[in-house]
Structure 1
Amino acid sequence: MCLKRIKEISSQKILAILFLVSAVVVATAYIMEHYFAVLGCPLCHYERDVFTGAGLISLLSFILLPQRFQHYAILLLGFVFLGGALLAGYHVAVQQHWVSLPGFCASNDFSAFESVEALREQLLKTPFVRCDQVTWSLFGLSLAAYNTLISLCLALLCWGWGCKRK
């Protein structure tokens, strides 16, 4: 029943929905970071990049592609969101200590600093959040867990809609 209704939606509306959801996710992340001091780790920023890319793809497809080719962009977006879900799921696994912390989440590259004092000043200025820390949660789920669910739902929306085409 639900799949039948999804298939009735035009490609323009699907792309608009995907753009709006992506924009809301990215805007929410920036608002939480800049107004509520919920800082993101490197994996959080990569997850945000997935939504930024998906938003750009959906917007450009909406504006530039003829409707008969928008189907391919929506199927591509399904894979983009699946990649985002896998990345966010990996982040949840890191937060729960099911897998080891990736190297880029544990340290910074210090080779560019000329002196120990310059390094010290930079470290004191720059907040760094480890990827295995849950900085914010709601109902026991971290933002990465919500990101996993949202990304999976969007991937299923894209592919559910794409099933109407041959």
Structure 2
Amino acid sequence: MRDRFDTARLLALGVPLALLGGALISQYVGHLYPCELCWYQRYPHIAALALAALAFVMPGRPARGVLVGLAAVAILLSGAIGVFHAGVEYHWWQGFTACTSTMSGPVTLDSIMSAPIVRCDVAQWRLLGISLAGFNALFSIGGAIAIFALMQRKRA
């Protein structure tokens, strides 16, 4: 039977893996190009993924616990950025970023002019009124809370 810490460690690996995978599929299959705030949400997940992976190879349970805790903090940070981004998309507050664009190949005037412009304050996709930033916020914050709850020691 799996103990609570092992479940927390699997969640710390699975949550950022699933959310980054979804972001990459949205980008490369769905052609939803990330804006600047989308990228900011990805960076903590990348860090969480590395920390959680290290928690599977690090000797000693205390060290593994620290790594899983840090991964949960990174996941929570991505969720907080997702809340901010969703607020920018819903025009609850103003963002601090400019429009961004994705380009590939050599930089020429034609490549600059034909690159898609992606605004942080416009959701490219929504399901039930929730944008991808909103889903990231929900799943990241929920996942981080679950990891923290699983890491709590049982009290007799």
TM-score where L is the length of structure 1: 0.79
Structure 1 residue 16, shift from structure 2 partner: 2.2
* Equivalent pairs, count: 149
User: Identity of aligned pairs, percent?
Assistant: 21
Aligned to 1:138: 127
Matched, 1:86 2:70: no
Unpaired runs of 5+ residues, structure 1, are: 1-7, 109-116
Structure 1 residue 70, shift from structure 2 partner: 1.7
| 1:128 aligned partner, one-letter code | I
CA 1:28–1:67 in 2, change beyond 3 Å: closer, same or farther? same
Alignment of 1:14-163 (within 5 A): 14-103=8-97, 105-106=98-99, 118=108, 120-163=109-152
CA contact (8 A) 2:15 2:140 kept: no
CA contact (8 A) 2:12 2:49 kept: yes
Structure 1 residue 41, shift from structure 2 partner: 0.6
Unpaired runs of 5+ residues, structure 2, are: 102-106
Structure 1 residue 107, shift from structure 2 partner: 5.8
Structure 1 residue 122, shift from structure 2 partner: 3.7
CA 1:149–1:107 in 2, change beyond 3 Å: closer, same or farther? closer
Structure 1 residue 98, shift from structure 2 partner: 1.5
For the pair shown, which has the larger CA radius of gyration, 1 or 2? 1
Question: Partner of 1:40: helix, strand, or coil?
Answer: coil
CA contact (8 A) 1:96 1:132 kept: yes
Query: What is the Cα-based RMSD across aligned positions, in Å?
Result: 2.3
- Partners of 2:13 and 2:154 in 1: CA distance: 21
- Partners of 2:13 and 2:41 in 1: CA distance: 16
CA deviation map 1:73-122 (0-9, x unaligned): 2222232122112111000111011211313x3368xxxxxxxx94x334
